[in-house]
Homo-oligomer: A and B are copies of this chain.
Amino acid sequence: MNKRSLPAPVIRRLPRYFRYLEQLKSEGVERISSGKLAELMSSTASQVRQDFSCFGKLGQQGYGYNVAKLAAEFGDILGVNEKRSIILIGAGHLGRAIATNFDFSHYGFYLSAAFDVKPELFETYIVDGVAIHDIAHLESYIELYKPQAAVLTLTQTAAQECAERLVACGVKYLWNFANIELKLQGPDIVVEDVRFSDSILVMSYYMVER
């Protein structure tokens, strides 16, 4: 695989390619051409081939792309075969929803612990095998277990402080659901935001009569 860093738009499109390829694989499709895939995805053959070429020669002239091979390749690129531990901060409704519904293992993660401030939750389980700990013990937990990433499902006000504590302990990857722009120093910190409010506002924009 290629070590050059990719254009951001390509990186953002990767999960979608992966999703379609997994789907095709599960339907038993063996091979697909850039044109057919583009049609499925409302993209263009040119873009598909241009994007894929970032990762070397994945196809074969006159044949197209082998679906299983390509899905596996993209899976590797995206890290879905890794086993990285992730901790969840904030065992409220959203944290519970994610712990319960979200299949971390499908994306190369496993949920190893949860944290909250509420004493009545301590040492209960957010989901089978995943205990909720006192957030006061965050630092000692991280020191011991070295989780690689954290999900932030807490209130706006607590999120910044908590993110700083995580970064101070060496957690470099934050999956942030709090409606705040985290300000963190360190060039190798990655914050990936899921911003419900931005999303509904884009929909809202289209609803306004103009």
Contact = CB atoms under 8 A, between A and B. Distances in A.
Interface of A: 1, 3, 11-12, 14-16, 18-19, 77-80, 82, 84, 92-94, 96-98, 100-102, 104, 106-109, 148-149, 173, 175, 179, 181, 190, 192-208, 210
Contact of A196 (B78, B80, B82, B194): B194
Contacts of A100: 93
Contacts of A195: 15
Nearest to A86: B200
Contacts of A175: 199-200, 203
Contact of A192 (B77, B80, B148, B203): B203
Given A82-B208, A108-B204, A194 B194 contact: yes
Nearest to A191: B203
A200 B174 CA distance: 10
Nearest to A93: B97
A205 B79 contact: yes
Closest A-B pairs by Cβ, 8 of them: A93-B97, A192-B203, A15-B201, A15-B198, A94-B97, A79-B208, A79-B204, A97-B97
Contacts of A200: 104, 107, 109, 175, 192
Given A15-B198, A15-B202, A207 B173 contact: yes
Contact of A19 (B196, B197, B206): B197
Q: How many copies does the complex hold?
A: 2
A25 to B, nearest CB: 16
Given A11-B202, A80-B204, A94-B94, 17 more contacts: A3-B210, A11-B205, A14-B201, A15-B201, A19-B181, A19-B197, A79-B201, A79-B204, A79-B205, A79-B207, A84-B204, A84-B207, A94-B97, A96-B97, A98-B196, A194-B194, A194-B199
Given A12-B202, A200-B192, A92 B97 contact: yes
Contacts of A16: 198
